[in-house]
Amino acid sequence: MRHTRLRIEGMTCAACASTVEQALSAVTGGRAQVDFASGLAEVEHSETLAAERLQAAVAAAGFTARVLAGEDEAETGGDGQDLHIAIVGSGSGAFAAALRATERGARVTLIEQGTLGGTCVNIGCVPSKILIRAAHIAWLSGHHGIEGLERHRPTLDNAARLRQQRARVEELRQAKYRSVLEANPAIELVEGRAVFEDAHTLRVALNRGGEQLVRADRILLATGARPLIPDIPGLDGTPFWTSTEALESEHLPRHLLVMGASVVALELAQAYHHLGVEVTLLARGRLLSREEPELGEALTALLRRQGMRVLLDCPVTAVRHTNGLFHLHTAHQGEVTGDALLVATGRRPNTDALALERAGVAADSGGRILVDEYLRTSQPHVFAVGDCTQQPQFVYVAAAAGTRAGINLTGGEARLDLSVVPRVIFTEPQVAAVGLGEVEARDQGLAVVSRTLELDQVPRALANFDTEGFIKLVAEEGSGRLLGAHLFCDQAGEVVQTAALAIRQGFTVMQLAEQLFPYLTWVEGLKLTAQTFERDVSQLSCCAG
């Protein structure tokens, strides 16, 4: 059997859809479904039945049919011919989808209310890593382990550092977004705020004034997320920071208070501390509560040794801002005072202003759009990618989803496999993980065994005179199949991808241990940790295979 999709024009009610459905079923002898809201017909028919017969049957019923694409066509085919796709958002997921869709013959209208490029390049990944790099160099200058090399605290011109950061962000925005648009005439940029008018129509309030209706065959939502601000008495109306302000401040506060216990809070808190700012971190529970407990415990101990005040199980119950100072009332630690406050307690999807209900697009209680592995929403012609969905909030997941959505928007069936997703937290040392932890694996009914290697057994760490951290591997008991890797070490973000590939390929820990790893690299620590499942690596020579 063959599967064909048709765009039906001229229907005015559900009864029209029923009429078309009957006409198609009569000519195919197979299954035909027509949806009035989307204007789409899904038809199963024999391989020998030409599409023209389907169009003729619809025409005889008083309507017009246009063949869109077949699900059985190859992903690389140009089956997006004549399709008009509207994409709301302009971040990495949106651009990946737009580029792939236009490669396959579609015409794209890209709708963006704010700054082109989305969160990552403008106010997220890129500027934060520039800040973290600067902070690490500043800290290392006074805290390295090499004897005979002067340790000192460098002078910081934060305004100059920020100018360089802004220039690099602008450079990347131009190279990776504006220039891409200029080179692709099949993508039209509409600047404004989009809201659903109906399942196929977006009403755009243009930034320059006025409105524009955008009607499309398919729609992709890639609207991202924004900081989640907790409902704490007194917080609203105070000059607190989110990550955006923290990354853009020319002024370094004397004492920064940070609310949060996960990625953004930890990266920015340590960066500011390494730049010489007094920092107090207030966590509702423990640090990194979604990761293996050892990771959060090790990071907590390190931050405290470095001089940061870390308050665990310390929810903030009220906020007061007077005379330039923030006063945070806590449940168990009394009042904590500082001259700046960073709120980094999570993110919420930018979906509340889309009027999803008008299009019949389902979302969870937190407003995250629900998508399947093909990035389809509850409406078959509406797709979604990135932080506005229930999928992991990583830019590389959004980009991968965007590429696959671009294929599927134009008739393909590309699946996004999220079974192995590595993740990194850019503290110093870095935290990285992939796969299952021990508790998670046991919850899935797996019997597990794990090994943890301290970095004083890793030659690279010894040569650097910096043995802070560990590597932990989790394996299935009996088979030895590698299930997870959890790292707290320098360059953990580089090392974790090797573990991800090993998990993807179904390696056992002994197969990992038998691989050749260059000596005096951080990734060699994976090999050594794998070897500990069967031997005591402290008794091996320095580069034993």
Same domain, 304 and 427: no
Same domain, residue pair 6 and 48: yes
pLDDT of amino acid 99:
96
Check whether residue 407 and residue 463 sit in a common domain. no
Considering the domain architecture, whether residues 459 and 486 belong to the same structural domain is answered as yes
Q: Are 115 and 196 in a shared domain?
A: yes
Please provide residue 108's backbone torsions phi and psi, each rounded to the nearest 5 degrees.
Answer: -120, 135
Q: Which of 344, 371, 393 is the last residue of a domain?
A: 344
Tens-digit pLDDT profile for residues 70-125: 333 333 345 667 899 999 999 999 999 999 999 999 999 999 999 999 999 999 99
With H, G, I as helix, E, B as strand and everything else as coil, classify residue 294: helix
Are both 78 and 179 inside the same structural domain? yes
> End of a domain among 45, 67, 89?
67
Answer yes or no: is pLDDT of 208 > 80: yes
The boundaries of the domain holding residue 278 are 243-344
In SS3 terms, 123-164 reads as HCHHHHHHHHHHHHHHHHHHHCCCCCCCCCCCCCCHHHHHHH
Alpha-carbon 27 to chain mean position: 46
Looking at the structure, tell me whether residues 22 and 46 fall in a common domain.
yes
Between CA 262 and CA 289 the distance in angstroms is 8
Q: How far apart are CA 141 and CA 151, in angstroms?
A: 6
The 10s digit of each residue's pLDDT in 472-521 is 999 999 999 999 999 999 999 999 999 999 999 999 999 999 999 999 99
Q: What angle (nearest 5°) sits at the alpha carbon of residue 122, between those of residues 119 and 126?
A: 95
Which residue, 433, 487, 485, is CA-closest to 461? 487
Q: In what order do the strands lie in the sheet with 316-322?
A: 316-322, 325-330, 335-338
Q: What is the largest CA-CA distance in the chain?
A: 90
What are 139's two structure tokens?
A: 């800290």
For residues 249-259, give the mean pLDDT: 97
pLDDT at res. 417: 96
Looking at the fold, whether 338 and 362 belong to one and the same domain comes out as no
Locate 286 and state its tokens.
Answer: 């423990």
d(CA 445, CA 340): 46
According to the model, what pLDDT value does residue 50 have? Answer: 80
Same domain, yes or no, for 91 and 218?
Answer: yes
What pLDDT does residue 538 have? 81
- Which residue in 323, 353, 316 sits closest to 231, CA to CA? 316
Distance CA 435, CA 508 (A): 14
Number of domains in the chain: 4
Evaluate if residue 544 carries a pLDDT over 80: no
Residue 399 shares a structural domain with residue 456: no
Task: Give the CATH number, domain containing residue 17.
Answer: 3.30.70.100
Cβ proximity of 470 and 513 under 8 Å: no
pLDDT tens for each residue of 348-399: 999 999 999 999 999 999 999 999 999 999 999 999 999 999 999 999 999 9
| Domain assignment present for 233 | no
Point out the domain boundary residue: 385, 418, 451.
418
- Give the position of tokens 């869109």: 68
Token readout for 116 is 């082109």
Residue 237 lies in a domain: no
Inside any domain, residue 487: yes
Q: Are residues 153 and 202 in the same domain?
A: yes
Measured between alpha carbons, how far is 6 from 12 in angstroms, rounded to an integer?
16
According to the model, what pLDDT value does residue 76 have? Answer: 39
Q: Give tens-digit pLDDT for 437-464.
A: 999 999 999 999 999 999 999 999 999 9
pLDDT tens profile 14-49: 778 889 988 998 888 768 888 876 678 888 888 778
Distances, alpha carbon 227 to alpha carbons 224, 345, 356, in Å = 11, 8, 21
Residue 349 has a pLDDT of 98
Residue 387 forms part of a structural domain? yes
On the question of a cis peptide bond just before residue 429, with omega within 30 degrees of 0, the verdict is yes
**Structural domain contains residue 372:** yes
Q: Length of the chain, please?
A: 545
